[in-house]
Homo-oligomer: A and B are copies of this chain.
Amino acid sequence: MSGFNSLITVDEALKRLLEAVRNFKLDVEKVCLEESVDRVCGEDLKAPVDIPPFDRSAVDGYAVRYVDVISASPHNPVELKVVGVSEAGYDLKMLPKVSSGEAVEIYTGAPLPSGADSVVMAEFCKRDGDRVWVSRPVACMQNISLRGEDFKAGELVVARGVKLKPWHIGALASLGITNILVYRRPKVLIASTGLELKQLGSEDNQGKIYDSTRPMLKALLKSINCTVLDLGILPDEPAYIAEALSKHLDSADLAVITGGTSLGLRDVTPEALNMLEESKLVFHGVRMRPGKPTGAYVAKGKLIFMLSGFPVASFIAFKVFIEPTIHAMMGSKPDPQPTVRAYITRRLAKPTGVKAYVRVRIYRSQDGFYAEPLRLTGSGILSTLTRGNGILTLDEEVEGVDEGEEVEVLLTQAFE
The interface of chain A, by Cβ under 8 A from chain B, is 1-2, 33-34, 37-38, 51-54, 58-61, 87-92, 94, 107-111, 121-123, 145, 149-151, 157-158, 162-163, 165-171, 173-176, 178, 194-197, 200-201, 204-213, 215-220, 222-223, 262, 264-266, 309, 311-312, 315, 333-340, 376, 378, 380-383, 385-386, 411-415
| Chain B min CB distance to A316 (Å) | 11
A414 lies within 8 A of B90 (CB): no
Tell me the smallest distance from the CB of A323 to a CB of chain B, in Å: 11
Task: Flag if B149 contacts A215 (CB, 8 Å).
Answer: no
Contact of A213 among B170, B206, B415 (CB under 8 A): B170
New contact pairs (14) apart from A37-B219, A150-B382, A166-B220, CB-CB < 8 Å: A53-B206, A53-B209, A60-B265, A87-B195, A88-B266, A94-B207, A150-B383, A157-B383, A167-B312, A176-B200, A333-B414, A335-B414, A336-B415, A339-B339
Which of B150, B197, B219 makes the CB contact (< 8 A) with A380? B150
CB distance B2 to A262 under 8 Å? no
- Cα A225 to Cα B325 in complex, Å, equals 27
A9 to B340 alpha-carbon distance, docked (Å): 27
Q: Which of B51, B108, B204, B266 contacts A264 (CB 8 A)?
A: B108
Q: How far is the CA of A217 from the CA of B197 in the complex (A)?
A: 44
With most chain B CB atoms within 10 A of its CB, the pick from A169, A170, A412 is: A170
Write the chain B residue with the least CB distance to A174: B212
Chain B residue numbers with a CB within 8 Å of A176 are 200-201, 204, 210
Task: Report how many copies the assembly holds.
Answer: 2
The 8 lowest CB-CB distance pairs between A and B, nearest first, are A88-B196, A170-B216, A174-B212, A166-B219, A89-B195, A167-B385, A336-B338, A173-B212
Contact between B121 and A1, CB atoms less than 8 A apart: yes
Taking the closest CB of chain B, its distance from the CB of A309, in whole angstroms, is 8
A111 surroundings in chain B (CB, below 8 A): 207
Q: Which residue of B lies closest to A61 (CB)?
A: B1
> B1–A386 contact, CB under 8 A?
no
Q: Which residues of B contact A175 (CB under 8 A)?
A: 210
Partner among B171, B311, B383, B415 whose Cβ is within 8 Å of the Cβ of A383: B171
